[in-house]
Structures are given as C-alpha cells and as structure tokens.
Chains A and B, each alone.
Chain A
Amino acid sequence: AQSVAQPEDQVNVAEGNPLTVKCTYSVSGNPYLFWYVQYPNRGLQFLLKYITGDNLVKGSYGFEAEFNKSQTSFHLKKPSALVSDSALYFCAVRERDKIIFGKGTRLHILP
C-alpha cells in the first residue's frame, strides 16, 4: 500500500472560497506528516507539519491541516483562497528512515 496518497491530481477553487487538498496515509507506528508547496520553477517550501499534539496544525500563508487518526487523513485547508495560492502541493509522511512524498496535487485558484 502507498505510504501517502493524494487522490486528486488537480483542484480548482474560485478565489475567496475555502479550499481543501486531500491527503491520506498508511504507515505503521506514529504518523509524522508534512505539507510542502512548490511554485513554478522553484524548490519546495515547507508549509506545516504534524508531529504530536493538537490535531489542527497551523502553518504558513494562512494554511492549516487537520490530523484525523481514524480516517488516516491529513487534509490541507485554507478558509479563503488567493490566486497566489496556485501551485503544486505535496503531502509527505515519515516512513522508517526517510520522508515519502505524495505525487502532488495541482491547485488552481480561479480569479
């Protein structure tokens, strides 16, 4: 089974609307989860991570993610999307001795 899955290749959201980018995981032991964003022709930038503690994690640029153990999910959310949020978003999970990245979800924010 995939360690981390991003079921959507692309998500389209109108500017000002809430956005969700989905991520599910499958690892043994405690899950350590991350979100990174990649803007065109740039390296990845860290958004947020869940290691322990509150299930709702707040990160950069107004993003947050909710760790849901029963659903093995770590969806990325933002209450009001901006056109500048358009980018490629990667969910990642620690598996044993490395970080495994999902295949990425392209987020398009429509003006």
Chain B
Amino acid sequence: DTAVSQTPKYLVTQMGNDKSIKCEQNLGHDTMYWYKQDSKKFLKIMFSYNNKELIINETVPNRFSPKSPDKAHLNLHINSLELGDSAVYFCASSQNSGGPLWTDTQYFGPGTRLTVL
C-alpha cells in the first residue's frame, strides 16, 4: 500500500492554464505539506496543514492555493501557470508525536513533475 500518493506523476501544460495536483495519505497523519523542488534540486516548503487548517504559508504567489477537504488529502491548485512554476512538487505528511514542534518524521510522496511550456 502506498503511504503518500500523488496524482498525476507527470503534468505537461501550457502557460496560463490552471491545474491541480492531488495528494492523499493513508497513514492517519495529522499534518500534510507541499514542497517545491527546482531544477537544482533545492527543496522548499510551500504550505503545511494540520487537521485541515493552514499553519504554514510561505512566500508563495497567490496563484497557488492549497485545499484540504479532510485530513487525509491536501490538494494543490495552481492558476495562470508560468514557466517558472516548472518543478517537481512533493507532498508529505507527518504525525504529531507530542515531541517538539516540527520534529516529526515526514513521509514524502513520489512527486509530481510539472512542466510548463
């Protein structure tokens, strides 16, 4: 069973289009994340949700809008796609273990490679 899954795996689209990436975790975790990995493999947090509530919203264009219909899902919708949005987007999840904040192990999905033409 896949713990953290993302769809689609590959997404090729034209500039200006709107697209969504879906993420689901079957681990029963409370917290989910979206990361962007650029062509140089630099990984940066975009958003984090805890029990469907937004808790991290980094400096990301407002064209990016996360949606969490329930705590097992965190989808990423992107409006008016730009060339610079081309990257691999990773979803991750973690379980609040009661330890110090932000120290829980994160489990990553396989990534969605977005190419904007």
Contacts and interface: CB of A to CB of B under 8 A. Distances in A.
A88 interface: yes
Contact of B101 (A41, A44, A46, A97): A97
A99 B102 contact: yes
A88 B37 CA distance: 13
A97 B106 CA distance: 15
Interface majority SS (helix, strand, loop, mixed), chain B: loop
Given A90-B43, A99-B45, A103-B40, A46 B107 contact: yes
Contacts of B40: 103
Interface residues of B, number: 25
Nearest to B113: A41
Contacts of A99: 45, 102, 106
Interface of A: 30, 32, 36, 38, 41-46, 49, 51, 88, 90, 94, 97-101, 103-104
